[in-house]
Amino acid sequence: MKAKEIREMSDEQRESLLKETIEHLFKLRVQARMERLDSPSEVGKAKKIIAQIKTIQNEVEQ
């Protein structure tokens, strides 16, 4: 997901996406502990999306 797409979302949509991504990251981390991940790069992608959303939220608040 590109930053431009995140900026075009409403505040509620960004908050929803943030919650979904955090839950997804949690599930990936649990899966990594229990068994081998199919694609370990998914953890990094989820963390990147979370960082992008939080950065954009801070920009909007200012």
Record the pTM: 0.87
Angle at 18 between CA 62 and CA 49, to 5 degrees: 85
Radius of gyration for the alpha carbons in the chain, expressed in angstroms and rounded? 13
User: pLDDT tens for residues 34-51?
Assistant: 988 888 899 999 999 999
CA distance 21 to 47: 8
Q: How confident is the model at residue 1 (pLDDT cuts 50, 70, 90)?
A: confident
Is the pLDDT higher at 46 or at 60? Answer: 46
For residue 18, is pLDDT > 90?
A: yes
Contact criterion met (CB below 8 Å) for 1 and 52? yes
3 state DSSP class of 46: helix
